[in-house]
Structure 1
Amino acid sequence: MQTETNTMKAIIKPTPQPDKDWEKGLTLTKVPIPEITDPREVKIEVIASAICGTDVGIYNSKQSLKDEMLSNPTPYVIVGHEFAGKIVDAGSIARKHLAGLLIEKSHENASLAGFIGKRNIDELANDPDLINVLKENFTVSAEMHITCGRCHQCRIGQKHVCQNTKIKGIHEDGVFTKYVKVPAENIILFKNGELPIEIIAFMDAIGNAVHTAQSVNLMGQTVAILGCGVQGLMATAIAKISGASKIFVTDASKPGTGATHEKIVEKRFSIAKKFGADHCFDVAIPEEREKFIKTVKSETNGTGVDVVFEMSGNYKAYQDAFEVIRMGGTISLLGLPEGDVKIDFSKNVIFKGITIHGIIGRKVFETWEVMRSLLKSGLADKILEAGFITHQLPLERFEDGFNAIKNGDGLKVILKP
């Protein structure tokens, strides 16, 4: 029986059904508070979560996400996968993992070292104060791609391409709520004050851009970043801090929507330039697209850029990528287009000697540690100072957050339970 004391507010999406329309939108409702049922799980109180492009796709009932969620066994899923929170409970096996993480962190903190003393992991895991100490000293996030640990990719250190990945907020309950359960091995600890909570809340998204940037050596390279949404802007900041010599950014306005030319210039391109972009172009305007290609050729002595990051998921951007990439260059694809695209592989890939990377998720946990270092070295301050976080809203006002993104006024929107 559900009561006010054992339920929580949550934003949910019904599981789609084959051959039936999947109604657009999300619903705020009451759901049971989750309890630990697996000894490997950690229960986390969500402090802040963030709306991701994938969440917008779920809101809009995007076909690719409908296909992905058809096999979900539950009647609905709690949406959301970017978050920061506090640990409030853990299963018996999870406590041992957390004890190990705490011992690693104790080298940086005398009071933690005092709490641990000379106890081993098993002794520490049985201490009734373990969870309270973690809650008082650390904010947490988590890798929300839940991997199997058994497939070939997992066993050779490529968990980010696990054959059996389940994603929180898509296949299993996510974070647009008060409490979420995550396997302990997916937890990342941040000591209090290490990074702003609002930044930790969308490190999942920053990690996608970092993983994209990790695909190449950016030092001294010319880079074209196609798509100036959240991922494109993050990639711009990371490319600059990683030593890119020239950065060309594009986006495409859509008259009649929130993504007007004026709004793109005022918001997205303004932040892109703060993050280090040298030139920005609205390629939906034919003259601007022509200017983009001419500027790239002019500033690279007719050679083309060394690297293209495709962050938009728009097939027209693929044409631009092949137009501006130099022979022997690298194209990394993060954006998620729908349907099929026709590519002349002989002309655009083979004869040009192009390397193409498909980017999915984050390298576990390499990308998280690279992120931590970049953010602490000044990137977090730059993100906050640029006004990249445009809205912080209570969970109940989630519609306002999604509408802000839709009408072009929102970039990164934070939701708080």
Structure 2
Amino acid sequence: MGIQGEKLQTKVNVPTMMKAAVLNKPFDIEITEIPVPQIEDDEVLVKVMAVGICGSDIHYYEHGRIGRYVVEKPIILGHECSGIAVAVGKNVTRIKIGDRVAIEPGITCGRCEYCKGGRYNLCPDVKFLATPPIDGAFVQYIKHREDFLFPIPDELSFEEAALNEPFSVGIHASKRANLQPGSIVAIMGMGPIGLTAVAAVRAFGASTIIVADLEQNRLDAAKRLGATYTINILENDPIEEIKRLTGGKGVDVAFETAGNPKALQTALQVVKRGGKLAIVGLPPQDEIGLNIPLIADNELDIFGVFRYSNTYPLGIKLLASKFCDFKNLITDRYSLEQTKEAMERARTNKKESLKVVVYPNGIIEE
């Protein structure tokens, strides 16, 4: 069905056309006009207010692919997003016009064994924003199924709500590793996923958080989010430093969030006997050599982490509590018309930029 005309006319003026930033091919982003999508009975039309640029967006922008996901036709990127509900389908009951919402970007089937078992992130039929061939959120309006929209309180900014997406990865990794209060945790890689993982493990009660990266600005940001110790790997050997900080024992849980083979091997080396390793980052190659005798002899548990499931309500609650200042992660702000510049900034300015945000309906300072 189309947009609920009568409801809209009395509350929100929605245009028929909108601007979108379209990736035609690597390094080629064009601002064009496309129709505002028409919603189905179980969908909501959302006016997109903030979209964070993710590492996957950069991969598609730069290389046109991530593993088996290949950009074969023009695509709209962006999946870390939030906005305002401006139209609702007739079967929508939980979201109303005017609600400020965080958008969980993966729409799953709800019927397969993974969905029914609560691990819907493994659904083989998921439609995930900005993952080929599904268009993403670098648009002024987007339609989304109601059950993957979550109201946010007034005290939570649109920017913070968009950051609930990468934050959810850290929450899910903490759940996968059954992270216990009082744990000593190491996190390799302080990109946006690693930084939000610092906040996640802190929320789960980690007593000591050791982080490693080669960019000092990211280490400084990790410290502000609650990291106990930071290691600049250009200056110190992370294995030696972590062993020193843990009295030679190693950490209870290590996260690898950089997608770097060396970082993964390092993470494995710093886990204590009987400890756990969560693999969050995706490396460019399919196979990486790991020390199998070390894994077996020390009975290490290794967890693969793919996106997240059932994390958004908890993430919103934690963010709204202001236990961490995620606003400080926002270093660069761009309009939709500046999406290419925003992508270049995120791609090339790792020494200064932490999180680059695009505002499809105008830059907002919150």
Counterpart position of 1:78: 76
Secondary structure of the equivalent of 1:378? Answer: coil
Q: Could you tell me which of 337, 345, 369 is aligned with 2:313?
A: 369
- In structure 1, give the amino acid aligned to 2:84: K
Q: Could you tell me which of 268, 274, 289 is aligned with 1:328?
A: 274
Secondary structure of the equivalent of 1:60? Answer: helix
Cα distance in structure 2, aligned partners of 1:60 and 1:213? 30
Task: Indicate if the aligned counterparts of 2:22 and 2:30 stay in contact, CA closer than 8 A.
Answer: yes
1:203 counterpart = 2:180: no
Counterpart position of 1:24: 27
Counterpart position of 2:340: 399
Q: Deviations over 1:303-350 (max 9, x none)?
A: 111110110000011110121111111111110112133434531322
**% identical equivalent positions:** 31
Task: Indicate if the aligned counterparts of 2:179 and 2:253 stay in contact, CA closer than 8 A.
Answer: no
Q: Could you tell me which of 129, 145, 151 is aligned with 1:183?
A: 145
Q: CA RMSD in A?
A: 2.0
Q: How does 1:129-168 map to 2 (within 5 A)?
A: 134-136=96-98, 138-168=99-129
Give aligned pairs, total: 342
Cα distance in structure 2, aligned partners of 1:163 and 1:240? 32
Q: 1:375 Cα deviation (Å)? A: 1.3
The structure whose residues are more often helix, as a share, is 1
1:296 counterpart = 2:242: yes
Cα distance in structure 2, aligned partners of 1:244 and 1:10? 42
Q: Deviations over 1:133-161 (max 9, x none)?
A: x333x201222111111211112221111
Q: How does 1:10-409 map to 2 (within 5 A)?
A: 10-14=20-24, 23-36=26-39, 38-64=40-66, 67-69=68-70, 75-93=73-91, 95=92, 99=93, 101=94, 134-136=96-98, 138-170=99-131, 171-191=133-153, 193-215=154-176, 216-252=178-214, 264-265=215-216, 267-283=217-233, 285=234, 288-289=236-237, 292-344=238-290, 346-363=292-309, 365=310, 367-380=311-324, 382-384=325-327, 387-405=328-346, 406-408=348-350, 409=352
Task: Indicate if the aligned counterparts of 1:25 and 1:60 stay in contact, CA closer than 8 A.
Answer: no
Secondary structure of the equivalent of 2:142? Answer: strand
1:414 counterpart = 2:348: no
Cα distance in structure 2, aligned partners of 1:416 and 1:282? 33
**Which structure 2 residue ranges, 5 or more long, are not aligned?**
1-14, 361-366
Task: Indicate if the aligned counterparts of 1:25 and 1:61 stay in contact, CA closer than 8 A.
Answer: no
Task: Indicate if the aligned counterparts of 1:79 and 1:169 stay in contact, CA closer than 8 A.
Answer: yes
Q: 1:295 Cα deviation (Å)? A: 2.3
- In structure 2, give the amino acid aligned to 1:152: E
Which is further off, 310-319 or 369-378?
369-378
Task: Indicate if the aligned counterparts of 2:56 and 2:66 stay in contact, CA closer than 8 A.
Answer: no
Cα distance in structure 2, aligned partners of 1:46 and 1:226? 32
Which is further off, 371-380 or 316-325?
371-380
Task: Indicate if the aligned counterparts of 2:51 and 2:78 stay in contact, CA closer than 8 A.
Answer: yes
- In structure 1, give the amino acid aligned to 2:52: A
TM-score normalised per structure 2: 0.87
Counterpart position of 2:19: 9
Q: 1:62 Cα deviation (Å)? A: 4.8
Cα distance in structure 2, aligned partners of 1:76 and 1:25? 10
The structure whose residues are more often strand, as a share, is 2
Cα distance in structure 2, aligned partners of 1:9 and 1:226? 38
Q: Using a 3 Å threshold, how does the CA distance of structure 1 residues 248 and 62 change in structure 2: closer, same or farther? A: farther
Q: 1:69 Cα deviation (Å)? A: 3.6
Task: Indicate if the aligned counterparts of 1:222 and 1:306 stay in contact, CA closer than 8 A.
Answer: yes
Q: 1:203 Cα deviation (Å)? A: 1.3
- In structure 2, give the amino acid aligned to 1:85: G
**Which structure 1 residue ranges, 5 or more long, are not aligned?**
15-21, 103-133, 253-263
For the pair shown, which has the larger CA radius of gyration, 1 or 2? 1
Query: 4+ residue stretches of structure 1 with deviation over 4 A?
Result: none
